[in-house]
């Protein structure tokens, strides 16, 4: 997926958030925003993939401000809150577990919600229908066994991914699972370290993309990861950045699990903003 | 006033609004946002005055998208709605008329409000105290007569400026009034044409800055306007852009009448966001 017109302002607004999280002095903040503007102008073109240029922009900004992980505390709290909610949903059936994995992408685990409020929001997502639902095709494929590559997105959310993968393995014990995360910190994306801390190594093989960019841009991934990607039978790709970086492949093995949160993604897929999707582009 | 860190994203967000108002096709919108990003990167530096670089950016964008006045309809409706509300406030005393002039800068005349709702909002502003209030000093100066230069800001608002000027002239009949507006359209700022249509020529001399930039950046103004500016005894400067472009002069003749709407202006003046001000920087 190439950038849409909203991606420009969205990237700059995200830079401002990062700058405000990381720097206190107005003079330093101003310098960092001017850096962001000039770097964005260099990076963005009509053919850009939003997650790639956004990621390169943020990594440059991290370096400029001397903070390699501005979202560290945000991610820690997200993981903690999500982990504490899991027992509420233990024993979910396959369909509920799939929707929980999407719900995990929707709610913000770190905004000082009470656990009660958060649980209510998650149940709200569970009560919504998927607007595009190719999950039966996904499950039919998994029935045959083979290798599943699961591409994670954010911290917090990963605990619901773990529940979903456990449920998948209960239903389809013949499946061998590989779970991907980022090589290092980028915004609130899960890293390999986050996955290991959450215990993903008990359900499958934890792998790194070999890159810190959001999503799964194969041209920036390690040769090992690319080899693994080519070898698997089914891919579950969570969240917007994975859609942005993989939608152009035309790869029928990929099922995108996401909420279309922003106008660019919604327009690209041709659905209303807010739609919940389990989408295989080859099945449309 | 130089830019603060928020000015970068704010300018880009305003470009997006202009682009969405003017262009329908996603491809054209994307091109226009990429143009805005690159032009902003060229224009913005640490020493930039927000209204000046913002104005240059928007004028460049107007040219790029081939629309010389994207806010035309917005301004027409603002003027119409404000004009229709005026009779409600006829005969206001000096203090109320001054606060109405600030209220005119605060409310948005064009967002499809009912007149009742808008009147309620204006009365809400009237009930607020000015956080910094140098109006007694302003009135003492005007008591002596002399030349007053009144720098306008937005359409809609100008009808409350007209009421304020009429009230000033009733109280201080010895004052000679000059009212400034922009040479041509820029965002929703009033132009000389708007002032003439509203009947400002009945209360004083309508003058152009000789520039389309927001505020009153003297280095971009016509020699005639600069000469007039130097010659007057008192200046009333409405709104944020006039503050941005004139606060650096250290000119004790200037009284700024504004609401500190954004974090940058509020931080610059050292007041909470939302403060109503009648401010002479030499009197602080």
Q: What is the pLDDT of residues A133-145, one digit of tens each?
A: 999 999 999 999 9
Q: What DSSP state is assigned to residue A212?
A: -
Beta-ladder partners of A177: A148
Query: Using a CB-CB distance cutoff of 8 angstroms, which residues of chain B are in contact with residue A32?
Result: 5
Does B32 sit within 8 Å of A37, measured CB to CB?
no
Q: Do domains B6-65 and B73-283 have the same CATH topology?
A: no
Instruction: With both helix axes pointing from N to C terminus, report the angle between B115-127 and B94-106 in degrees, rounded to the nearest 10.
Output: 120
Q: For residue range A170-183, what is the model confidence (pLDDT) as tens digits?
A: 999 999 999 999 99
Say yes or no: domain B73-283 is CATH 3.40.50.10880.
Answer: yes
| Sign (positive or negative) of CA dihedral B20, B25, B30, B36 | negative
Nearest CA in chain B to A267: B26
pLDDT of residue B106: 84
User: Which CATH fold would you assign to the domain B6-65?
Assistant: Helicase, Ruva Protein; domain 3 (1.10.8)
Contact A41 B37 (CB under 8 A): yes
- Identify the residue among B5, B21, B25, B47 best suited for mutation to test binding to A, counting A beta carbons within 10 A and taking the highest: B5
Q: Please answer yes or no on whether B9 and A13 come within 8 Å at the CB atom.
A: yes
B134, B64 contact by CB (below 8 A):
no
Task: Decide which of B112 and A123 is more confident.
Answer: A123
CA distances from A155 to A70, A194, A201, A234 (A): 14, 7, 16, 23
Domain borders along chain B are 6-65, 73-283
Nearest CB to A8; choose among B4, B12, B267: B12
Q: What confidence tens digit (pLDDT) does each residue in A54-105 have?
A: 999 999 999 999 999 999 999 999 999 899 989 989 899 999 999 999 999 8
Tell me the nearest-neighbour CA distance from B274 into chain A, angstroms: 20
Instruction: Flag whether pLDDT at A111 surpasses 80.
Output: no
Residue written as token pair 């053919």: A47
**Residues in a beta bridge with B255:** B236
Residue B134: predicted pLDDT: 98
| CB-CB contact of B57 with B39 (8 Å) | yes
Residue A30 above 90 pLDDT?
yes
Predicted confidence band at A115 (pLDDT cuts at 50, 70, 90)? confident
In tens digits, chain B (284 residues) has pLDDT values of 999 999 999 999 999 999 999 999 999 999 999 999 999 999 999 999 999 999 999 999 999 999 999 999 999 999 998 999 899 898 999 999 999 999 998 877 766 677 788 888 888 999 999 999 999 999 999 999 999 999 999 999 999 999 999 999 999 999 999 999 999 999 999 999 999 999 999 999 999 999 999 999 999 999 999 999 999 999 999 999 999 999 999 999 999 999 999 999 999 999 999 999 999 999 98
Of B5, B7, B37, the CB nearest to A8: B37
Q: Let me know: does B184 contact B211? Beta carbons within 8 Å.
A: no
E-assigned strands of chain A?
A: 132-133, 146-151, 175-181, 205-208, 234-238, 254-259, 276-279
Q: How far is B53 from chain A (nearest CA, A)?
A: 13
Q: Do B8 and A6 touch (CB under 8 A)?
A: no
The pLDDT of residue A216 is 98
Average of per-residue pLDDT values in chain A: 95
Q: Is B278 exposed, middle or buried (0-12, 13-18, 19+ CB in 10 A)?
A: buried
The Cα of B264 is separated from the nearest Cα of chain A by a number of Å equal to 10
Give phi and psi for B178, each to the nearest 5.
-120, 130
Residue A15 has pLDDT above 80, yes or no: yes
Q: Which of A3, A19, A41 sits opposite B38 (nearest CB)?
A: A41
Q: Tokens 């993981």 — which residue? A: A79
Residue B56 has φ and ψ, to the nearest 5°, of -65, -40
Nearest to B16 among A6, A19, A29 (CB): A6
Chain B interface residues facing chain A, Cβ-Cβ under 8 Å?
3-9, 12-13, 15-16, 19-20, 26, 29-34, 36-38, 40-42, 44-46, 267
ipTM of the complex: 0.95
Asked if residues B181 and B192 have their Cβ atoms less than 8 Å apart, the reply is yes
Q: Please report residues of A whose CB lies closer than 8 A to that of B40.
A: 37, 41
- Classify A25 as helix, strand or coil: coil
- Report chain A residues whose CB lies below 8 A from the CB of B42: 41
User: Using an 8 Å Cβ cutoff, are B80 and B276 in contact?
Assistant: no
d(CA A126, CA A100) in angstroms, rounded, equals: 7
Query: Do the chains contact at A34 and B40, CB–CB below 8 Å?
Result: no
Cα A8 from Cα A41, distance rounded (Å) = 9
Which tokens hold the place of B43?
């224009």
Nearest C-alpha in A relative to B37 = A41
Mutate which of A1, A3, A5, A60 to disrupt the B interface (most B C-beta within 10 Å)?
Answer: A5
């Amino acid at each position: 997926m190439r950038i849409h017109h909203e991606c420009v302002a969205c990237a700059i607004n995200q830079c401002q958030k990062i700058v405000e999280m990381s720097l206190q002095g107005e003079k330093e903040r101003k310098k960092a925003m001017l850096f962001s503007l000039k770097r964005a102008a260099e990076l963005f073109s009509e053919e850009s993939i939003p997650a790639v240029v956004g990621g390169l922009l943020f990594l440059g900004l991290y370096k400029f401000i001397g903070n390699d992980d501005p979202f560290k505390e945000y991610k820690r709290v997200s993981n903690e809150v999500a982990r504490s909610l899991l027992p509420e949903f233990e024993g979910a059936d396959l369909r509920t577990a799939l929707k929980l994995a999407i719900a995990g992408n929707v709610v913000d685990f770190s905004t000082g919600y009470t656990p009660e409020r958060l649980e209510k929001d998650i149940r709200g997502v569970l009560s919504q229908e998927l607007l595009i639902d190719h999950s039966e095709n996904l499950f039919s494929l998994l029935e045959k066994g083979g290798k599943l590559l699961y591409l994670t997105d954010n911290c917090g959310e990963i605990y619901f991914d773990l529940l979903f993968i456990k449920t998948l393995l209960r239903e389809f014990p013949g499946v061998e699972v590989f779970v991907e995360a980022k090589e290092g910190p980028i915004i609130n994306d899960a890293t390999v370290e986050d996955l290991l801390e959450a215990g993903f190594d008990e359900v499958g093989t934890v792998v790194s993309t070999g890159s810190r960019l959001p999503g799964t841009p194969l041209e920036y991934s390690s040769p090992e990861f690319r080899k693994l990607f080519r070898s698997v039978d089914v891919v579950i790709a969570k969240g917007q950045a994975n859609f942005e970086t993989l939608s152009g492949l035309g790869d029928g093995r990929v099922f995108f699990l996401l909420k279309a949160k922003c106008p660019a993604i919604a327009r690209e897929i041709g659905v209303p903003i807010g739609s919940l999707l389990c989408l295989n582009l080859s099945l449309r």
